Amino acid sequence: MPALKVTDLNTSFRTDDGVVRAVSGVSFELDQGQTLGVVGESGSGKSVTFLSVMGLLDPRQAQITGSVQLEGEELLGASNARLRQLRGRKIGMIFQDPMTSLNPVKSIGWQLEEAVLIHHDVSRKDARQRAVEILKQVEIPRAEQRIDDYPHQFSGGMRQRVMIAMALINNPEILIADEPTTALDVTTQAQILRLMKDLQSEYRMAIVMITHDLGVVAELANDVIVMYGGKVVEQSNVDDLFAKPEMPYTWGLLGSLPRLNSTSARLEQIPGQPPSLLNPPSGCPFHPRCEFVMNICRQELPALEASVQGEGHRFRCHLDDEARTRIWNQKRAALGAEETAA
């Protein structure tokens, strides 16, 4: 049984201007101990997907349909009380900005203890002991002393460690990390990623790594979902995706990936703006920005079809196999030439 199974998830928001379809028809599975990378630009629906999974969206504004199963238990439609039991216990979540994600007027010890006390009937003393322990595990130096400090006394990287500690303090099955390194500097990013890797092997939890950075995915993930305009546009295991991406948007993402051995100062960027979710483009959501756009792209949404490589690799594109192979080979050659020139 997969740790998390999401089927045909749709999330829409009622706003004053109309209905925003933030997530449409998202399906995926996550097995125990595995890591799923979720890639996309801001507004692609990747965060909303997992806020929907967590039940953290305001039910008065968000409408969610489909199915979310945690170890076989359906979460959509579950009672608030049940959801509260699962949140923080079975699923931990950490967020993008560690500067604002901790309550500024409570000590980090208090916040960690709270996470324990919500789910376990233990004394505050025991909770504190557990908090010190987990702080040590996320490599906070002098954890016993620093536990009484307040968030503003920690650096960004340290705060993200605290967030991770808080998410893992109850040994969850799944950790959802929503762009955990975006707000951090490069060295700190690397440390945090290494820490997550280490902790995963120790705690054996599944991780969902939401990111816009394919480099992070390459380092951590087993499987990848690429999201665009609220839809899954490509889905694959990580090796296949990097070996032969099938979708022009994924090509764009790979083009914008920095390479350590490249002297090219500018990264290749995908021209244009992400689509409006309020008035989504007709047909394929990527067509206004796609350099290979055809008439059919403007009219029909391509189905999420399996590639020639097999069922595990699915994507949405109207280009035929031959065209995609030709274009990808050209792209790869251009990227490779750049590397060689360096």
Partner 1 sequence: MTHFLIRRIFWAIFLFLVATIITYLIFWVIPTNPAQLAAGHAASPEFLASIKHRLHLDKPIYIQYFYFLQNLVIHGSLGRSFLNQQSVDSIIGKDAPVTASLVFGGAVLWLSLSVPIGIISALRPRSVTDRLTMTFVLIGISAHPVWIGLILSFVFGYKLHITPIAGYCNFIPGTAGAQCEGPVQWAYHMILPWITFMILFAALYVRLIRANVIETMSEDYVRTARAKGASQRRVMIHHVLRNSLLPVVTILGMDLGLALGGAIFTETVFNLPGLGNQVIRAYGANDLPIITGVVVFSTCCVIVFNLIVDVTYGFLDPRIRMS
Residues that bind partner 1 (CB under 8 A): 54, 56, 84-89, 92-93, 95, 97, 100-107, 114-115, 118-119, 150, 152-153, 163, 166-167
Q: How far apart are CA 96 and CA 206, in angstroms?
A: 19
Q: How far apart are CA 102 and CA 158, in angstroms?
A: 12
Query: For residues 75 and 270, which CB has a smaller minimum distance to partner 1 in the complex?
Result: 75
Query: For residues 97 and 126, which CB has a smaller minimum distance to partner 1 in the complex?
Result: 97
Within 10 Å of residue 267's Cβ, how many Cβ atoms? 11
In angstroms, what is the minimal distance from the CB of 68 to partner 1? Answer: 15
Query: For residues 105 and 265, which CB has a smaller minimum distance to partner 1 in the complex?
Result: 105
Q: What would the two tokens of residue 225 be?
A: 């979902």
Classify residue 161 as left (phi > 0), alpha (psi -120 to 50) or beta. Answer: alpha
Contact criterion met (CB below 8 Å) for 327 and 254 = no
Query: For residues 29 and 97, which CB has a smaller minimum distance to partner 1 in the complex?
Result: 97
In angstroms, what is the minimal distance from the CB of 218 to partner 1? Answer: 27
Q: How far apart are CA 269 and CA 260, in angstroms?
A: 17
Classify residue 88 as left (phi > 0), alpha (psi -120 to 50) or beta. Answer: left
In angstroms, what is the minimal distance from the CB of 95 to partner 1? Answer: 6
DSSP 127: H
In angstroms, what is the minimal distance from the CB of 9 to partner 1? Answer: 18
Query: For residues 166 and 193, which CB has a smaller minimum distance to partner 1 in the complex?
Result: 166
In angstroms, what is the minimal distance from the CB of 139 to partner 1? Answer: 21
HSE-CB at 21 with a 13 A cutoff on CA atoms is 15
DSSP secondary structure, 53-108, as one string: HHT-S-TTTEEEEEEEEETTEE-TT--HHHHHHHBTTTEEEE-S-TTTSS-TTS-H
In angstroms, what is the minimal distance from the CB of 225 to partner 1? Answer: 21
For 269, phi then psi, to 5°, come to: -115, 155
Query: For residues 192 and 226, which CB has a smaller minimum distance to partner 1 in the complex?
Result: 192
Cα 129–chain centre separation: 31
In angstroms, what is the minimal distance from the CB of 113 to partner 1? Answer: 11
For 85, phi then psi, to 5°, come to: -65, -35
Query: For residues 150 and 292, which CB has a smaller minimum distance to partner 1 in the complex?
Result: 150
